[in-house]
Amino acid sequence: MRVTAALTTAGLATLGLLALAPAASAQAVPTAGTSVSVVAGWQAIAKYPNYRRCVDAGQQYVREGFNAWDCRPDGPSGEYWLFVR
């Protein structure tokens, strides 16, 4: 009975993490011609519709092993690019 409960809990936790995964990869990495400036050592991850979502994703990346994150505005659009290192 305990094994079944443990497996069920692990399965639900995995499904919960998978539900969050698309948020971290909301859009493609910037390509040539975008207004995002590339800084050595930083990796562009995704563009988010507002600063709060960018911050949430950045904090998640740090919890998963990256050292730092930075949200940079994408011009007047109000969107933000997430960079991690």
Asked if residues 72 and 38 have their Cβ atoms less than 8 Å apart, the reply is: no
Asked if residues 60 and 48 have their Cβ atoms less than 8 Å apart, the reply is: no
pTM metric for this prediction? 0.55
Q: What is the pLDDT of residue 71?
A: 97
CB atoms within 10 A of CB 75: 9
Rg of the chain over Cα atoms, rounded to whole angstroms, equals 16
Range with lowest mean pLDDT among 3-7, 22-26, 79-83: 22-26
Instruction: State pLDDT tens for residues 20-73.
Output: 444 444 444 554 445 555 667 899 999 999 999 999 999 999 999 999 999 999
